[in-house]
Amino acid sequence: MITEDKRAKLTAELHELTNNLTKDYSLNRAIDNTENIFQQPDREIIFECIRNLMRLLFPGYYRSSNYKIYDEKSIIGPILEDVHFHLSRQISVALNNTSNEKDDEKRKGNYLKAIDITTEFLKRIPSIRAKLEMDLEATYEGDPAASSLGEIIVAYPGFFAISIHRLAHELSLLKVPLIPRVMSEYAHSRTGIDIHPDATIGNYFFIDHGTGIVIGQSCVIGNHVKIYQGVTLGALSTQGGQSLKNVRRHPTIEDNVTIYSNASILGGNTVIGHDSVIGGNAFITKSIKPGSKVSVKIHELQISKTGKPDEDESWYYVI
């Protein structure tokens, strides 16, 4: 049991720590603005909006225990209202924060703008679902391990990440600041798949396994593209920092391309031509012509029962 002397000493130390930390907050750096907590979108509320949006996308798979299934309208209505109420307020906060808005009338204007943005976003849910139906088909057709479509919706991290991206991308198109990135990082933390919300991704997109995939901001991906774990579609260099803002930094992947595990394709001028196959561990910084097959010759493997390599027991391992 703690003694009175020990308690008194601990209290004094905590008081001193409090004073020191308070002084540290007063240095007026970007990390010191304690008032900013009321001017930032609430991540937990955004996460709950994501969960409700997933219920709208897949009503038979993400049903909340709070809602019954006797009448679809009785389920959808409350979820829509909940998403609209909370998301519009978070968008309003993001708009105010981005413009550093403090004028009450302009804040009110941003709130009304946020309501309109949220309404337009929710109107796009059917078109998002249509895209996800194609992604679902691509995943099922592309993975012989998939036992059912429902398994993909419930259990596949790649499909989950794509679903969040489809939502975040629409908000990005509507010029919503910050929130799309929070949404993409929610998917990133859940799956290990990092897709920037600004990235443009075509129909029938399939991510297999997925862990470690990075898809950069200005990346453009065509239709019927398949990507395996560890693939990076990134920038050739970021040494320019903020001077590279709004500069095309990430590659274009044309239709019907397959990219195997741990391949890196870098650069805004890099185009992977349609109907190409990129082997695992490839490092590509220049464009590839349509119909190409790219493989990497790694070290030679030799196996011998006698301890000495025989010519017919060695091969080149090509991914």
- At 315 the pLDDT is 36
Q: Single out the residue in 153, 175, 193 at which a domain terminates.
A: 193
| Cα maximum dimension of the chain | 85
| CA pair distance 35, 103, nearest whole angstrom | 16
Kindly state whether residues 203 and 176 are assigned to the same domain: no
For the record, the structure tokens of 125 come out as 């849910």
Together in a domain, 41 and 189 = yes
CA distance 157 to 192: 9
Say if residues 146 and 208 touch (Cβ distance below 8 Å). no
The Cα 43–Cα 87 span in angstroms is 11
Residue 229 is assigned to a structural domain of this protein = yes
8 A C-beta contact, residue 75 and residue 146: no
In 3D, which of 97, 131, 126 has the Cα closest to residue 114?
97
**What distance in Å separates the CA atoms of residue 21 and residue 41, rounded to the nearest whole number?**
25
List the CATH number of the domain containing 316. Answer: 2.160.10.10
Choose the final residue of a domain: 193, 215, 248: 193
- 227 and 213 in contact (C-beta within 8 Å)? yes
* 1 domain residue, yes or no: no
306: left (phi over 0), alpha (psi -120 to 50) or beta: alpha
Task: State the CATH number of the domain containing residue 50.
Answer: 1.10.3130.10
209 and 145 assigned to the same domain: no
| Cβ–Cβ < 8 Å for 82, 122 | no
Total of domains in the chain: 2
Spatial distance between the Cα atoms of 175 and 5, rounded to a whole number of angstroms: 59
Tokens of 319: 């991914």
Quick one: 186 and 277 in the same domain?
Answer: no
Find the angle CA(170)-CA(273)-CA(271) to the nearest 5 degrees.
65
Same domain, 211 and 263: yes
Does 210 lie in the same domain as 167?
no
What three-state secondary structure class fits 54? helix
Q: What is the DSSP letter of 231?
A: -
> Is 3 domain-assigned?
no
Question: What pLDDT, on a 0 to 100 scale, did the predictor assign at position 39?
Answer: 74
Same domain (yes/no): 220, 315: yes
Do the domain assignments include residue 18? no
Q: For residue 8, tell me if it sits in a domain.
A: no
Is residue 29 one of the residues assigned to a domain? no
Considering the domain architecture, whether residues 137 and 259 belong to the same structural domain is answered as no
| DSSP, residue by residue, 126-156 | HHHHHHHHHHHHHHHHH-TT---HHHHHHH-
What is the chain's pLDDT, residue by residue, as a tens digit (319 residues)? Answer: 789 999 999 999 999 999 999 999 889 888 887 766 667 899 999 999 999 999 999 988 887 666 655 566 678 888 999 999 999 999 999 999 876 666 778 888 899 999 999 999 999 999 999 999 999 999 999 999 999 999 999 999 999 999 999 999 999 999 999 999 999 999 999 999 999 999 999 999 999 999 999 999 999 999 999 999 999 999 987 666 776 677 789 999 999 999 999 999 999 999 999 999 999 999 999 999 999 999 987 666 666 665 554 554 433 333 3
Residues 142 and 252 in one domain: no
Residue 261 and residue 278 in contact, taking contact as beta carbons nearer than 8 Å: no
* Residue tagged 């933390």 (tokens): 189
Asked if 168 contacts 197 with a C-beta cutoff of 8 angstroms, the reply is yes
Domain of residue 208, residue span: 199-319
Residue 22 burial class via C-beta count within 10 angstroms: exposed 0-12, middle 13-18, buried 19 and up:
exposed
298: three-class secondary structure by DSSP: strand
Is 258 strand, coil or helix? strand
Same domain for 176 and 47, yes or no, is yes
Any domain includes 23: no
Residues 178 and 279 in one domain: no
Residue where a domain terminates, one of 152, 174, 193: 193
CA distance linking residue 212 with residue 262, whole number of Å:
8
CA 307 to chain CA mean position, Å: 49
Residues 169 and 249 in one domain: no
